Structure 1
């Protein structure tokens, strides 16, 4: 696995291609209809149950990263279409999308960490980031293993106070995969169906990292 200093090298490489920062306002995740039905109604309808929550699962498919198979988290996206400023209408992960206001997951009480940078034999590059509420078990896990980013000044994902309001920006030229380490109450967001297509070619579910790419690989002496 990558040591912290190796991740710092990967971070530097990722910063070189991150591109300009675009504003966004929501985090979102796509799944199949059955997934959200299970999250909303994990118990028989007649049984009393707590508000529906999306619970962290093991965050896999992070290649060689210290988070692989060890960190529990929920994957979110935040990339927008530059011409609309809105999330794309297509997704590789399912036709149903949960959207949540950015400030619910990312605010001055959250720490941000860099976890990975990779591609899968395509022109797209992915940056994996972790959002962890300060002092949470996920935060303590990441603090020991991952480079921490300044939430208001980095090349990937920022949260800044401007004119008294929190303003959010993401890197335009990388696909961000954001892992949130805590359960998320579905009542804090909106669930709906997207109008676009399911683009399986962009799925990272069984990602195979391209070891020959000079943009996103480092030599770690192994």
Structure 2
């Protein structure tokens, strides 16, 4: 059997490690093998990184392999359904450094890892002699790039379905949220009766570049097929603020694709960002998110009729979560109770993506 390829580490031998000792009882420590020093991590992406280190020349000619011990840092808030990462030792033949480590099965985006390295010499009997472990280095993988988001965008477009007309954006909350004095809500300005942008939570894909960074206000726009109106049920509260669509979405608004995910159900969610042209969050989105044509995309469109009036349509077969990036004055819309139920089980607050869904995952870190 041939040894695993060197530069990409796609073929791996996996084994456990305890402490700073070699995991395999057949490995033998050899004092004259150099210990890697000054570990350097560079070119970090959502599912790869480059690693290099310094070594003295003592015993260097005997090195045949490198062992890279990669461990995910424990996160108590981690998605309980997500596949568990195990301590992983990557075995590769010795090659000129830096070496690229790549693999979406053991690397996830925006995740903290620790890494340590051994040098090794393969013996004629197939066993390894190894050096002592290097120091432990910590690093964090990156967000999805626009290349990865475009892959998600293409998958979302496949299931978006036909476009349905709508006229209002709406946002559900508890009654107190919409009252004049609401100091308990950080996303409300009680004195000015405004809804304020808040930092997006961690719902959706782990690699989404907007989670924990983009500021905005979540709105919905989906309608019921039989009535053409917003549904009367909501997971977010029994009171609803409605605002005419053209106030938030018009020819001066840019639209971006933010994410595509599901939560272990048949429902799929698409996150879109509406940012007024030239605003702070518009600048943030450019270069990070795929920009959509406001009048011609598969999710949410704004077009003009022959009289110059704006018409709006949304995709039928996905649930749209629309983030508007500027404050919204309550006086621009209306607040009223809904007649349906508050379906808390459908809430997407900090909801994590199903990593096993073939519809909304791409072949990089989850």
The alignment's TM-score, normalised by the length of structure 1, stands at 0.94
Matched, 1:159 2:317: no
Q: Give the Cα separation in 2 of the matches to 1:184 and 1:97.
A: 14
Could you say which structure has the higher helix fraction? 1
Report the TM-score, using the length of structure 2 for normalisation.
0.57
Match for residue 113 of structure 1? 256
Instruction: Report the alpha carbon displacement of residue 162 of structure 1 after superposing the two structures with TM.
Output: 1.0
Structure 1 residue 35: Cα displacement? 1.7
Q: How does 1:204-219 map to 2 (within 5 A)?
A: 204-219=348-363
Which of 87, 111, 131 is the equivalent residue of 2:274?
A: 131
What corresponds to 2:323 in structure 1?
179
Give the C-alpha shift of residue 50 in structure 1: 5.1
Matches within 5 A, 1:53-132: 53-60=194-201, 61-63=203-205, 64-132=207-275
Question: How far apart in 1 are the matches of 2:216 and 2:303?
Answer: 24
Q: Does 1:11 align with 2:153?
A: yes
**Aligned: 1:21 with 2:163:** yes
Paired with 2:280 and 2:336, the residues of 1 have a C-alpha distance of: 31
CA RMSD for the aligned pairs? 1.3
Q: Secondary structure at the match of 2:287?
A: helix
Unaligned runs of 5+ residues in structure 2 are 1-142, 184-189
Q: Equivalent of 2:345, from 176, 201, 205?
A: 201
Per-residue deviation, 1:201: 1.9
Query: How many corresponding residue pairs?
Result: 215
Q: Distance in 2 between matches of 1:62 and 1:221?
A: 13
**Matched-pair contact (CA < 8 Å) for 1:51–1:187:** no
Give yes or no for the alignment of 1:52 onto 2:196.
no
Q: Distance in 2 between matches of 1:2 and 1:55?
A: 27
The alpha carbon displacement at 1:221 in A equals 5.5
Gaps of 5+ in 1: 44-48
Structure with higher Rg: it is 2
Kept in 1, the 8 Å contact 2:261–2:353? The answer is yes
Q: Which residue of 1 aligns with 2:181?
A: 41
CA distance in 2, matches of 1:50, 1:93: 23
Task: Kindly indicate whether residue 290 of structure 2 is the aligned counterpart of residue 150 of structure 1.
Answer: no
Which residue number in structure 1 is paired with residue 17 of structure 2?
none
Using CA pairs under 8 Å that are at least 6 residues apart, name the structure with larger relative contact order, 1 or 2.
1
CA distance in 2: counterparts of 1:28 and 1:147, whole angstroms: 24
Note the C-alpha offset of 1:130. Answer: 0.1
Partner of 2:312: 168
